[in-house]
Structure 1
Amino acid sequence: MQKIAAALAALLIASCSFGQGRAIPSERPKLIVEIVVTQMRYDYLQRYFGNFSDNGFRVLLEEGAVCKNAKYNYSFTQSAPGLATIATGTNPSTHGVVGDMWYIPLTDQNVKAVQDSKTEGVGGFGDLGKVSPRNLLAGTLADEIKMANKNSKVIGVAMEPTSAVFLAGHSADAAYWFDPSTGKFMTSSYYMPSLPKWVDEFNQKKFPDIYIYNKWGLTKPLNKYISSKENFDTTAKPLLTNPDNGLGSMLKSKSRPTYEKLMDTPYGNNLTKDFAIAAIVNEGLGKDDATDLLTITLDANKHIGQKYGPTSIEMEDTYYRLDEEIAHLVKFLSDNIGKQNVLVVLTSDNGVANAPKFIEKSKIPAGHFEPNRNLMLLKIFLNATYGRGEWIKAYHQKQIYLNHTLIEDSKINLAEMQTKVANFMKQFSGVAQAIPASVLEYTSFTDGIMQKMQNSFYAQRSGDVVINLQPGWVDSDEVVTSSNSPYSYDTHVPLIWYGWKIKRESISSKVDPADIAPTIANLLDISWSNAATGEPIKELVR
């Protein structure tokens, strides 16, 4: 840790030429920093507030504008749709990112949200470099910033490519993410043919090697933690009560080091913040009057929450460690660019459900939906009804994709089969709604769960039948819990504005993360992103 502190101190010294700037806010912020903490529920801020330091989350909460009722307005609250919604200011039904992955019938392929076979990795290997924002069908706030001023810079930073790519938009100068096979940050040929010198130099410092040999222990005495002492995972063992929980053993046990487990610890967030500061320094972000945009996605929280559960000590400790990283970043921005010149926006891509085992202890209905078993029964039903055949092509997080070619060749009415499948799926425990695509495509819903499901629907990419589970139910897979529902635990996220011209206030009116892009565009007095349906938050733009 001392090596990292020394290296970061050198970065701070190198950046002293930025200066603190004027005491009076600039006409427009010199730098906008969008921070997305993955899978962060709004209630985390209140739950852990008493144990936060004075300089991290408390600074944002006590000096910024806090939107207390920010909720996504669609059903499939996965990471990629959330990031795309923040970036574009509209819902999946318009920007087209219906999930982290979807199936394309015309090409018979499962497609990841940022997958792009036309690109290659730069500074990394394999499919991790075959990514771009081309699957995002709408323009973004970042694109408008670039078009408004050619001197503005836009850079996205994250551990995962989807997080870096979508928030940075189509016109970004760069998006960087982590290659766990090499322990280095990389990018795609969509952005550049080779890594900048400063990125190579950062990679050569081998910060991941330092982090990965650290133990992850409690940051506070055990009796200070408010989370449950129980572990609700069926596979992962509690980490923070293990006296020998160093991560270095995973390097020693492999002939080729792997850094994947950094994502399962708070050190993934530390590394992302380190790289973000390096980007500010070396790219000169916030140095002139052209507004720059830096997006920082902290991906580790999602992985930790899914592995240990949102009520675990591991999750709680992650937020105390993140609190320290937020404090460091905010102080850096204030000291080197000036609080009055930087607009910080902190939010999340989605919330998360409590682990069903935890809920059941309170006698609240909950459970795991078992897609593999239920789809097997569905296949038997379809074979009995229509004859033997591969009637189902894919299932991705509550979306069932049927075999359109076989259905057409068999002269079966597609809408009729969709309806039969939907009715069959409604019989399973935990299913609240199962809706045929034909209903969502040709019926307009104006409120409630059905509107949220329609806001998640894009005909060319969504399933033939989409499912909504009952409250408290999640898909059964290798994680403790997940997010992917229209309920408040998945849709309600933090939204905090801090810095440039932002007054301290508590905003209780209902807002949508789709409002972020239009609000910033309004503050900058530039065009909205081309498909934006959100509205500027009136308390911030009055």
Structure 2
Amino acid sequence: MNHLTRLRIVISLVASVASLSLGAASPAAAKLLVGIVVDGLDGDCLDLLRQQLGRGGFRLLQERGVVIPEADYGTYLDAAAATSTVVTGAAPSVSGVGAAEIFDRNTLRCVPVYSDPAVIGNYTNAAYSPAALRVSTVADEARIASGGTNVVYAVAPDPAGAIALAGHAANAAIWIDAKTGNWASSTFYKDMPVTVATRNRLSPLSSRLDTISWTPLLDPADYPGLPDHLSRYPFRHVFPRARAERLDMFANSPLVNTEVSAVATDLINNLKVGSHPGVTDVLNIGYTLEPYRYGKNPDNRPEQLDAYIRLDRDLEKLFATIDRRVGLDSTVVVLASTPRRPRGRRDDDRWAIPYGEFSTRKAASLLNIYLMAIYGNGDFVSAYHNGRFFLNHKLIKERSLDLRAVRAEAADFLTRMTGVDRVYTIDDILAGRAGEHPEALRRNTVKESAGDLLVDITPGFEIVDDYNTLVAPGENLPGMVYRMAPATAPAYIMAPSLAPQTIGQPVDVRTIAPTVARILRIRSPNGASVAPLSLEKR
């Protein structure tokens, strides 16, 4: 073999190796990221219903994705705070979003965390923006990485969920207005899809509610784990015009998930989400599986099981649309859930379960009397909101009192009240010495909007919030008692590059955002400080 021939062979081999290496290092980018957050999903309930689930919904994620049975939030977070944690990879102390509503010390009123008078509502009188969200989201980073050539849409039943899922740079965040039933948005986002405006005009929810009813999707005998008395008489829930809270009732039912899926499907079909070349479009969706609060029977297991079956069918249809229009082999799907609320319907008196009431007005009044006995006359208690008492900082400063000492006195007094388990001062929380999980409680507390005293109620007690006359829908329904619950929830990641696998130990929920960013090969959100998961590839 002469020198020239050997040289040609060497060049050919080098070129082949370079080509293979280049191909292995540069797989095709995902065309679509679908981020789903389900409020209140229970993994045990999914296991119970495994035989009733379709092949293309939850089971698709379980069989083809990364299964995280326990995504750990550290402490309970409501849906707004939990969603922001999922999409940013940052705890509330960093993201700035600690709850759906916050207490404004200046006006002594509770306001939505995303309320923003600087913008105008679109198909709503309420004005919201992501200004309270202090860090970027995965959707923001995907938008930046594309140079603005991709599209980002978020759809959810409520504004807090939609805005967290949309982030700052999205084309639109879309939700159901709680007063009119319209699909609404904010002028902060520059693109109100025509398909959504058309739906408001031609098929408004408010005009259809009278004709909608919620009945079991399956034969009652086909729901597993139900005693005979619950499977014998099928439930039926309607949303009549005579009920002033009918929109709240509908939003608490699984039928709202079908409405959300319909809008998401419209975006895929009509706006070609997932079809922009060379970039990753983002479609984020919020669903709810919170227990139905408006039924007559405290034992709502039939409704809860039906809600899971219905959401599974909605996911199956959504994934089928994505596969047809985009291709699941070109799509990354992430489904996370928020912790279940630590309360539930009170059991019937015949079961003799210990029960008590904690009146927020009575507690505030007694606390104020106690502090006046020590420090002199005055209104020392400004408000109670979301498990927290707010003291009058202005009065305490005028009296030249030590705020920490006043808090400690107040905490000691409240701890002795019937129905109170534990009380923590904000000083102890921020110092990381409060609760069973002090570090988690610290990072899940937004100090700028936190109350002075956090009160844990004894299990079985009902919080009678008679201090506040204006509360969020469904937050102060009678008969809702405190129940301890873990601050974990399942999550799934399905991507073409990942092998199916199950993570057998609790995973910090803050790892989800940087893990998704790594899969998409984009930057992690700027508030994400936890390393991404190391996952097995295909």
* Structure-1-length-normalised TM-score: 0.83
Among candidates 375, 381, 387, match of residue 386 of structure 1: 375
What CA distance in whole angstroms lies between the structure 2 residues aligned with 1:283 and 1:482? 45
Q: Which moved more, 1:338-347 or 1:303-312?
A: 303-312
Would you say how many aligned residue pairs link Structure 1 and Structure 2?
A: 498
Is the 1:352–1:481 contact (alpha carbons within 8 Å) kept by the matching residues of 2? no
Q: Secondary structure at the match of 1:286?
A: coil
CA-to-aligned-CA distance 1:289-312 (integer Å, 9 cap, x gap) = 21111110014x336268676852
TM-aligned CA deviation for residue 56 of structure 1: 2.0
Q: Secondary structure at the match of 1:296?
A: strand
Match of 2:446 in 1: 458
What CA distance in whole angstroms lies between the structure 2 residues aligned with 1:167 and 1:119? 19
Match of 2:340 in 1: 351
Q: Which moved more, 1:499-508 or 1:31-40?
A: 499-508
Q: Secondary structure at the match of 1:298?
A: strand
Match of 2:62 in 1: 61
Is the 1:507–1:539 contact (alpha carbons within 8 Å) kept by the matching residues of 2? no
Match of 1:519 in 2: 515
Q: Secondary structure at the match of 1:59?
A: helix
Match of 1:35 in 2: 36
TM-aligned CA deviation for residue 513 of structure 1: 2.1
Q: Which moved more, 1:203-212 or 1:341-350?
A: 203-212
What CA distance in whole angstroms lies between the structure 2 residues aligned with 1:449 and 1:479? 30
Identical aligned residues as a percent: 25
Among candidates 394, 397, 412, match of residue 408 of structure 1: 397
Is the 1:227–1:311 contact (alpha carbons within 8 Å) kept by the matching residues of 2? no
AA aligned to 2:170 is A
What is the root-mean-square deviation of aligned Cα atoms in Å? Answer: 3.2
Is the 2:139–2:282 contact (alpha carbons within 8 Å) kept by the matching residues of 1? yes
Match of 1:534 in 2: 530
AA aligned to 2:522 is I
What CA distance in whole angstroms lies between the structure 2 residues aligned with 1:218 and 1:52? 15
Within-5 A mapping of 1:61-460: 61-73=62-74, 75-106=75-106, 108-124=108-124, 126-127=125-126, 130-150=127-147, 151-192=149-190, 195-206=192-203, 208=205, 209-210=207-208, 212-226=210-224, 241=233, 245-247=237-239, 250-251=240-241, 253=242, 259-288=247-276, 289-299=278-288, 301-302=289-290, 304=292, 312-353=301-342, 355=344, 357-358=346-347, 369-441=358-430, 443-444=431-432, 448-460=436-448
- The alpha-carbon distance between structure 1 residues 228 and 388, as it changes in their structure 2 partners (threshold 3 A), is farther
TM-aligned CA deviation for residue 404 of structure 1: 0.6
What CA distance in whole angstroms lies between the structure 2 residues aligned with 1:399 and 1:363? 30
Q: Secondary structure at the match of 1:355?
A: strand
What CA distance in whole angstroms lies between the structure 1 residues aligned with 2:232 and 2:153? 35
Match of 2:467 in 1: none
Is the 1:143–1:170 contact (alpha carbons within 8 Å) kept by the matching residues of 2? yes
Are 1:504 and 2:503 an aligned pair?
Answer: no
Q: Secondary structure at the match of 2:429?
A: helix
AA aligned to 1:200 is A
Match of 1:8 in 2: none
Q: Which moved more, 1:139-148 or 1:413-422?
A: 139-148
Q: Secondary structure at the match of 2:507?
A: coil
TM-aligned CA deviation for residue 349 of structure 1: 2.3
What CA distance in whole angstroms lies between the structure 2 residues aligned with 1:384 and 1:396? 24
What CA distance in whole angstroms lies between the structure 1 residues aligned with 2:71 and 2:111? 30
AA aligned to 1:118 is A
What CA distance in whole angstroms lies between the structure 1 residues aligned with 2:59 and 2:236? 32
Q: Secondary structure at the match of 1:304?
A: coil
AA aligned to 1:533 is S
CA-to-aligned-CA distance 1:28-51 (integer Å, 9 cap, x gap) = 211111111112223221132232
- The alpha-carbon distance between structure 1 residues 382 and 446, as it changes in their structure 2 partners (threshold 3 A), is closer
Is the 2:185–2:192 contact (alpha carbons within 8 Å) kept by the matching residues of 1? yes
What CA distance in whole angstroms lies between the structure 2 residues aligned with 1:500 and 1:213? 42
What CA distance in whole angstroms lies between the structure 1 residues aligned with 2:117 and 2:227? 46
What CA distance in whole angstroms lies between the structure 2 residues aligned with 1:457 and 1:108? 20
Q: Which moved more, 1:456-465 or 1:372-381?
A: 372-381
Within-5 A mapping of 1:2-21: none
TM-aligned CA deviation for residue 511 of structure 1: 0.9
Is the 1:158–1:177 contact (alpha carbons within 8 Å) kept by the matching residues of 2? yes
Are 1:468 and 2:456 an aligned pair?
Answer: yes
Is the 1:352–1:482 contact (alpha carbons within 8 Å) kept by the matching residues of 2? no
Is the 2:291–2:300 contact (alpha carbons within 8 Å) kept by the matching residues of 1? no
AA aligned to 1:396 is H
What CA distance in whole angstroms lies between the structure 2 residues aligned with 1:376 and 1:169? 41
Q: Which moved more, 1:466-475 or 1:174-183?
A: 466-475
- The alpha-carbon distance between structure 1 residues 294 and 69, as it changes in their structure 2 partners (threshold 3 A), is same
Structure showing greater Rg? 2
Is the 1:228–1:311 contact (alpha carbons within 8 Å) kept by the matching residues of 2? no
* Structure-2-length-normalised TM-score: 0.83
- The alpha-carbon distance between structure 1 residues 502 and 338, as it changes in their structure 2 partners (threshold 3 A), is same
- The alpha-carbon distance between structure 1 residues 540 and 156, as it changes in their structure 2 partners (threshold 3 A), is farther
- The alpha-carbon distance between structure 1 residues 423 and 508, as it changes in their structure 2 partners (threshold 3 A), is same
TM-aligned CA deviation for residue 327 of structure 1: 0.9
Is the 2:497–2:537 contact (alpha carbons within 8 Å) kept by the matching residues of 1? no
AA aligned to 2:159 is P
- The alpha-carbon distance between structure 1 residues 259 and 448, as it changes in their structure 2 partners (threshold 3 A), is closer
AA aligned to 1:152 is N
TM-aligned CA deviation for residue 196 of structure 1: 3.4
Q: Secondary structure at the match of 1:539?
A: coil
Is the 2:339–2:486 contact (alpha carbons within 8 Å) kept by the matching residues of 1? yes
Match of 1:234 in 2: none
Q: Secondary structure at the match of 1:53?
A: coil
- The alpha-carbon distance between structure 1 residues 372 and 317, as it changes in their structure 2 partners (threshold 3 A), is farther
TM-aligned CA deviation for residue 228 of structure 1: 5.4
What CA distance in whole angstroms lies between the structure 1 residues aligned with 2:97 and 2:495? 31
Is the 2:334–2:493 contact (alpha carbons within 8 Å) kept by the matching residues of 1? yes
- The alpha-carbon distance between structure 1 residues 363 and 59, as it changes in their structure 2 partners (threshold 3 A), is farther
Instruction: Provide structure 1 residue ranges, at least 5 long, that are not aligned to the other structure.
Output: 1-24, 232-237
What CA distance in whole angstroms lies between the structure 2 residues aligned with 1:70 and 1:276? 26
CA-to-aligned-CA distance 1:251-302 (integer Å, 9 cap, x gap) = 3x48x99744321322111000000111122332110221111110014x33
What CA distance in whole angstroms lies between the structure 1 residues aligned with 2:294 and 2:522? 39
Q: Which moved more, 1:365-374 or 1:336-345?
A: 365-374
What CA distance in whole angstroms lies between the structure 1 residues aligned with 2:348 and 2:507? 28
AA aligned to 1:155 is Y
What CA distance in whole angstroms lies between the structure 1 residues aligned with 2:502 and 2:346? 34
